Amino acid sequence: MSFSSSLKAKLALGCVLAGAAILATASGEQTSTPAQTPVKTQAAAQPRQQVTVALAQAPAAAPAARPQAAARVVRPTAAQKAAVAARKYIRQIRDAYPQYSAVAVDMERGEVVMADENLFQMLVYDRTTNTPKNAAMSEPKRRIAGPKTFLELQCAIYIDPVNGDIYSLNNDTERHMTVWGRDQQGDTEPKWKLHTPMGSFGLAVDEVKNELLITGQTENVVAGFPKTAREEDPPAWVLWGDKTLLADPHGIALDTKKNIFFVANFGSTATPRELKPGEDYLRVATGRGNFVPGSGRFLPVSITVYDKTARGDTAPIRVITGPRTQLNWPTGLYVDSAREELYVANDGGNSILVFHTDANGNAAPIRALKGPKTQLFYPSSVFIDTKHDEMWVANFGNHRATVYPRTATGDMAPIRVIRSAPEDMPAPTLANVRIGYDTKREQILAAN
């Protein structure tokens, strides 16, 4: 399971955030604020064992107070309301720099395209860009961003090898895949877009059969759309059901040589509900929340392998899973069909794992790139530039896209780095964040 990585990414992140958020001493007391008295709750008056213990152990600030009956009631004046309304925030945690979440190389045109999940934009660089150590950052040659773009939490990028069109798949806060001409930039509308009703994450394209394969995280589904699909066009087929072992699926990669596809699964899943009379199977499978309540469960983290023709509730032909695989939040996938290699951006393991495309069960990777010299930090996307024999990685945790020889292994330093922020700039890695506040440690907890 992916638990270890989850804690690193979530709770450790909370600590990171807390470092930026330790608060100053309290603001001045309000004369109108009632005096505080110890709480006398119903539970405290008629304590259950747990409550009694809890109250005894609670930090000094924990037991809340009840206003005194005679406390002065405040009636805010218009001027007081206006003064409060005019206030600005006193602190902000925000990353002002791009965070790369997906990468693809236009091998014909010598460009690399990066999705930025922090500032909701797409960035295009020269393929050979290499940020000097003493430079603040590298600026992109083109940038697509703004309210007209429909770009938000992009998790997959694909470049059409024929015409250079750029496909960008949003995660589920903006349920569209957008397609861009290679020269587009600024706040502009995409050439076209496809409504993807699922909580989409991974994208693979079958150029022979003109088909888009998209994973749905929330729905545990793989949906196949015609490459020509636009706007509200439905999928042509889905892979959906308990037998599939799809479980919070993320990356997807197609092996056109063996006619199979791979899906990376984090491990959380639930059983689809039965269709009601007259319901459209494809719509239900790609719609939100069509599960049997209470059927949720945890499966081992895995990469599931399917025949390209698999449809409906079909079991994988192989499952890569187990401790030897080192899988830990496997996120982005890429298949080098010619060399029979499957590349895994192993987000929670801060590594790139390479498996033979015939790998099965508890198989060890044939290569693993990992270690402090690699500069890998929450790698979420991997791309193999077969023309230049290079491996590209988008790291969501450190403002870097890192480039290696295709066969890189061990603790190998990148041969080039595109950095989007000053060298030591921390990355809060916020994305669709929710927060809690740990009053004991005075830390903001962030669930992304």
Partner 1 sequence: MLGRTQHSIFYDEFHDEVVIPQPFAGAILTFPGGANGETPPLRIIQGPKAGLALNDVMTVDPVHNEYFVPRGQGGGMIHVFDRMAVGDVAPIRIIGGPKAGLGGIPSVDYEHNFLIVEGRDGMYIYDRTASGDIEPLRKITGGPKSGVKSIAGPMWIPGTRNFVATVRAFTAREKSPDEPLNWQRVEDAQSMIAVFTVDDDGDVAPRYLTGFNHFKEIRNLALDPKNKTVMAADKTQNDVTTWDFKEAWQNFAPAKAERYTEPQRRNLASPRPADPI
Q: Which of 125, 240, 266, 377 binds partner 1 (CB under 8 A)?
A: 266
Strand order in the sheet with 341-346: 330-336, 341-346, 351-356, 367-370
* Token pair 């990148």: residue: 414
* Residue 248 binding partner 1, by CB under 8 A: yes
Site for partner 1, residues 115 to 134, rule: CB under 8 A: 118-120
In the bound state with partner 1, the residue whose beta carbon lies nearer, of 146 and 241, is 146
Which residues in 163-192 contact partner 1 (CB under 8 A)?
Answer: 172-175
Residues 141-160 that bind partner 1 (CB under 8 A): 146-147, 150, 152
Does 137 sit near partner 1 (CB under 8 A)? no
Closest CA to 263 of 209, 217, 199, 326: 217
Positions 343 through 402 that interact with partner 1 (CB under 8 A)? 347
- Name which of 78 and 208 has its Cβ closer to partner 1: 78
Q: Which residues in 7-36 contact partner 1 (CB under 8 A)? A: 7-12, 14-15, 17, 21, 23-28, 30, 32-34, 36
String marking each residue 396-435 x if it binds partner 1 according to CB under 8 A: ----------------------------------xxxxxx
Q: Does 199 bind partner 1 (CB under 8 A)?
A: yes
Other Cβ atoms within 10 Å of 386 Cβ, number: 14
Are 103 and 420 in contact by the 8 Å Cβ rule? The answer is: no
Number of residues written out for the chain: 448
Phi-psi region of 305 (alpha: psi -120 to 50; beta: other; left: phi over 0): beta
Nearest distance from C-beta of residue 340 to partner 1, angstroms? 29
- Least distance (Å) between residue 319 CB and partner 1: 18
Residues 36-95 that bind partner 1 (CB under 8 A): 36, 39, 41-44, 48, 50-51, 54-55, 57-59, 61-67, 71-76, 80-81, 84-95
In angstroms, the CA 185 to CA 432 distance is 25
Burial of 196 (0-12, 13-18, 19+ CB in 10 A): buried
Q: Which amino acid makes up residue 270? A: A
Q: What is the CA radius of gyration of the chain?
A: 25
